[in-house]
Amino acid sequence: MKIISISKEKQHLSKITLDTGDEFLLDNDIVSLYCLHEEDSITKEKCERYIFESDVSRAKSRAFWYLDRGALTEKALYDKLKKAKFSEKAIAAVIARLIELKMIDDRRYAENYAERCENANISKRETVFKLISKGVPADLAKEVVENEQVSEEEKIKNLIEKKYKNKLTDKKAKEKVFAALIRKGFSYGAVREVLKKYIEELEYYE
């Protein structure tokens, strides 16, 4: 096969046209690296290799762009690259390299995210749900959350102090606060116990 033409397609891409009528896009860096020119002979195997290397180069650049904007889990980055229409092989190669470079670390991501949730008084159940939705494997999410230092009861009390203290005015209002805390993922027993003690303390000091 011969290369009939090499034309600039986009900012970083060139379109390669073969005498067979086949066309494909290559990253300009790959074109330069292998010194490709019109009228060059090229084998099918070389075409496949150049296309793969081009996909990896472009996928890596896109991955860096995503990671510059915030940490991501392995799954989240995979989903973004897949949506950008990179090949499975290219995505796998890029993610493997980024893991090797420690630019992607699901455990580190989970621990940092769980710590922020803990500081925000988010329940363990809700934290696990959030971590899984971010792409953290379920087993890892549960393991990380189990290592939290702040108890569920303390989180509930903190939330009452910050958001619900002035809403405990009557029975109906208390029921609404109870329901709101349950919706946040705290257990029935923990919410009932903390609310009971908190209300008793309020009544005592009144």
87: confidence class by pLDDT, cuts 50, 70, 90: very high
Number of H helices, E strands in the chain: 10, 3
Residue 202 has pLDDT above 70, yes or no: no
Name the residue among 128, 156, 131 with its Cα closest to residue 71: 131
Whole-number pLDDT of residue 166? 80
Tokens of 50: 């150049």
Q: Give pTM, 2 decimals.
A: 0.81
pLDDT above 50 for 7: yes
Is the confidence at residue 92, as pLDDT, over 90? yes
- What are the boundaries of each domain within the chain? 3-100, 106-146, 152-205
pLDDT of residue 204: 42
Arithmetic mean of pLDDT, 91-119: 96
Q: What is the mean pLDDT of residues 191-206?
A: 73
What's the confidence (pLDDT) of residue 203?
54
User: Token digits for 153?
Assistant: 């009861």
| Domain 3-100 CATH (choose: 3.30.300.30, 3.40.50.720, 3.40.710.10, 1.10.10.10) | 1.10.10.10
Residue 160: helix, strand or coil by DSSP? helix
| pLDDT at position 115 over 90 | yes
* 201 pLDDT more than 80: no
Q: What is the pLDDT of residue 197?
A: 85
pLDDT attached to residue 205: 42
Look at 48-62, 86-100, 131-145, 154-168 and tell me which has the smallest mean pLDDT: 154-168
Average pLDDT across the chain, whole number: 91
CA atoms within 13 A on the CB side of 105: 10
Q: Is the pLDDT of residue 105 over 60?
A: yes
Poorest-pLDDT segment among 60-74, 123-137, 162-176: 162-176
40-77: burial string, b at 16+ Cβ within 10 Å, e else = eebeeeebeebbebbbbbbbbebbeeeeeeebbbbbbb
End-to-end CA distance of the chain: 91
